[in-house]
Amino acid sequence: MSTLHRRRFVAALAAAPWLTQAAQAALPSAPRVLSFAHLHTGERLELEYARGTDYLPDALTAVNRLLRDFRSGEVGAMDPALLDLLHALHGRLGSRRPFEIISGYRSPATNRMLHERSSGVASGSLHMSGRAIDVRLADVPLERLRDAALGLGGGGVGYYPGSNFVHVDTGRVRRW
């Protein structure tokens, strides 16, 4: 394994307190697959993004492209630990559906515009660093998705029932 991939893997595990010790031990041998349906672009993607201890560069590029700022087209680098959080969340819920994407990466200009329109958008949003995503699952009630995300204890969880999505991020553990 290359030093870069080993460092990314170790960093992702260090940022992944929701994984039990047993799950961390099992992680290197298990392929990690995610499935997405982007609600604004109509794009769909299902792929293995990591194998063993390595994140797959072509897969990460495809995920970054899909989760780009759909308003500007700007592509950002999504945090692999966020993908691991989504993978753990999907597994915990037993969903058979893709994550429906409301918002992934946001450019600073898009985030500034959204912040000016809504007090619910943080000026320093983790979306701008690829560490946050707004999602839902068609076969999981929103409250259950929120509760499962909170149960992982892997970062921030925002509950937006009026807009029908849950925000998850790899920042400090908090809820709103």
CATH number for the domain harbouring residue 15 = 3.30.1380.10
Q: Taking residues 94-118, what's their average pLDDT?
A: 96
Beta strands in the chain (DSSP E): 32-38, 44-51, 54-55, 99-103, 132-137, 156-160, 165-169, 174-175
Assess whether pLDDT exceeds 50 at residue 112: yes
* pLDDT per position as a tens digit, 41-99: 999 999 999 998 899 999 999 999 999 999 999 999 999 999 999 999 999 999 999 99
Lowest mean pLDDT: which of 18-32, 86-100, 118-132? 18-32
**Mean of the per-residue pLDDT values of the chain:** 88
DSSP code, position 98: P
Number of domains in the chain: 1
Whether 16 and 25 have beta carbons less than 8 Å apart is answered as: no
User: Which residue segment(s) compose the domain that 71 sits in?
Assistant: 3-175
**33 beta partners:** 48
Q: Evaluate the CA torsion angle 13, 132, 30, 150 in order and state its sign.
A: positive
Give the closest residue to 59 by CA, choosing from 47, 44, 75, 41.
Answer: 47
0.85 surpassed by pTM: no
DSSP code, position 30: S
